[in-house]
Structure 1
C-alpha cells in the first residue's frame, strides 16, 4: 500500500487506536483482578481474626461463630483431609508465620480458605459470588471492538469511490469518457464522484458532437461542392449564375445546420418551440436537401406542429434523404395519419432494430461507406427528443414507414 495514500493513513490510525483499546482494557481487566484479590484477602483476614478471637474466648466453634461464617458466605468443611490431600488444587496465596498457617486455594471451581494454628485446624468453603464486573468489562471490550471494526470498514467503504475516481481521472486525459464512478450514496465523496461522472458525460457528448460535426460536414458538403465544380465548367449565363448562388446559399445553410446540430447534441439546451404549418417545414427541408421535386411525393394533409422550425426541418430533411437514398425507385412519400407524419419508401426492411440506428456512425451491413456516415437517424433522434417527439418504424408489404 502506498504510504502517502489516505487509505494507508486511515488504516494505520485505526490499528494504533485498536492496539490502544486492547492495552487499555487489558490494564482495566488486570486492575479489576487485583482489586478482587485484595478484597478477598482482606475478607479472609477478617474471618481468621474473628475465628481466633472466638476460639480464645470459647475454645470451641460455637453456634454463633457458625452463624457469623454463614453470613459472610463461609461454611465449615467436615471432610477436610480428602480435599487438602488432593494434588489438583490451585494455590492462590499462602501465608505462614510461626505456628500460624493460612492459605487460599481453588479446587473443582470452588474456593477454599484453610486456617491452622495450635488452637484450631479448620477448612472453610467460600461460597461468595463476586460482582460480574469482569464479565461486564469483557462484554464492553468486545462491543467496542466490534463497533470500532464496523466504523473502520464503513469508512473504507465510503472512501472507495475515491479509488474509482482516481482511475477515471487518469482516463480523461486519453479522452476515454466511459467511466463508471457514479453511486446512489449521499455522502460528500459520493456526490463528488457523481458530479465528476456528470462532467465526463458532458465531455463525452462534446466529443461525439465534434465527431458528428466533422463527419457530417464531410458528407453533406460533397453534393454542393460537386455541383459548384460542375457549374464552373459551364458558360457564364444568368441561369448558371443563379444556380451558383444557390450552391453558395446551400453551403451557408449547411454551416448553420451543422452549428445547430452541434449545439443541440453537446449542450442539450432547451429549444424554442412555436407553431408552424407542415407544408412550410417540408418546403424548407426540401430546400436544404437540394433534391429534385420528382423524388418527393407530397400526399399529406395540412397540419400545425409546435416545434423548433430550424431543427425540425433538419430532421425532416434527413428522413427524406434516407427515404430517397435507400429506396428502390429513388422516391419518398410524405403522408399524414391523424397527428402523425409518415415517410414511406419502397425497399428492403431494416436489418436491425430501429434503436440501433440511433447510435452515432451506425451503418447496416448492406450500406457502403460512401452512401452514409451513419449519422442521419442519430441526428433525427436527438432533434425529436428535444422537441418531445418520437420516431417509430414499421415494414408493410415491401414499404418502409418511418412515423413521427
Structure 2
C-alpha cells in the first residue's frame, strides 16, 4: 500500500495541519495582544502627559498624590530595571494622537517584567513614573489555547489507538487469503472496527465448520467406496482371466483413479502447502517411478535434467502434478519418444499427437468428458491447481504436431 493512501498517513497529516493552524492562531493572538497592550500604554502616556501639564506648578507631594489617584507611581529613583526595553508606539496611531503627543512633554515608554514605565527626556525636570494600572489579563485565552492543544493531542492518540487494530486485521485477512483458516480476529472493543472483526471471525468459524463437515463427508464416502472396490479387486484376482474380468479390472482401476483424484482435490482445497527445498531430479525420478511403467514405456521417455537444480515445493503434491503430465504424454502420444527437459527455468514435457478437438480450458475442467480417448478429466485440473498453488505457471503450446506442457518457475 502506498504511504499517501494509508489512513494513518492521512491521520498524521491532519494532526500536523491542525497543530500548525493552532500554533499560527496563537502566534497571531500573541502579536495582536502585544500590539493592543502597547497601544493602551501609549494612550496612558498621553494621559500622563496631560496630567503633568496641569500639575506643572504644584510641588512634589501634590504631584505624587495626583499621580497616585490616576494610578501612576512617581518613583524616587530614576533608574530603570536592567531588563527594561523601550517600546515604540504603533505605526497606525492616528494623526490627532500624534499631534497631541508632540504638544505634550516627550515621554519614553519602557517595559520590564510585565510592568510599564514612563521616563521624561526633559533635562530640567527628569522623572520616572510607573503605571500602576493592572495589565490586561489574557490568561483566559492562553488557558483556552492550552486546553485546545491538549484536546487535539488526546483526540489524535485516541483515534490512532482505535485504528491500530486495522493493521492486525489486515494481517489476518492476508493469512486468510493464503488459505489459512486457523486465525482469530475476535475483539472485545465496542467500536465499528471491532464489529467488522467480530463479523469476519464469525464468518471464518462457519467456514471452518463447513470445511470440517466436507472433509468428514468425503472421507466417509471414499472409505465406503474403497471397501467394495478392494473386495472386488480381490475377487477378480481369484477368478480366471477372460475378456469380462479384463473389462472389470479396467472399470475398477478407473474407479480407483477417480477416488484418488477426489482425494487429491480435497487435499489441495483444505490443506496448505508444506514447501521445502527439493532436488528437481529427485522429484522427477519419483514421479516416473509412481507410474509403474513397463520397460517398453520407460524407454519411450527421453529425460534431460540440469544438475543441482532445487525448488521450494510440496513434494507429494508436486510429484502428483508431474505424474499426471507424464501419464497424459505417454498415454496420448502417437509416436515415441516423450521428451522431458528440466532446468532452472522450469520443466517441459513434449509428445507428438493430433491437435485437441476442444479448447484446453475445456479439457482442464474437473471431470471433463471432452477427451475422446476417455479419462477422468482430473489430471490436468489437479496439475494446474498444484502449479498455481506453488506460484508457478502451467503453459501449453501445440506446434508442428507436438504438444508441449511446461511448468515455469
* TM-score (ref. length: structure 2): 0.49
* TM-score (ref. length: structure 1): 0.49
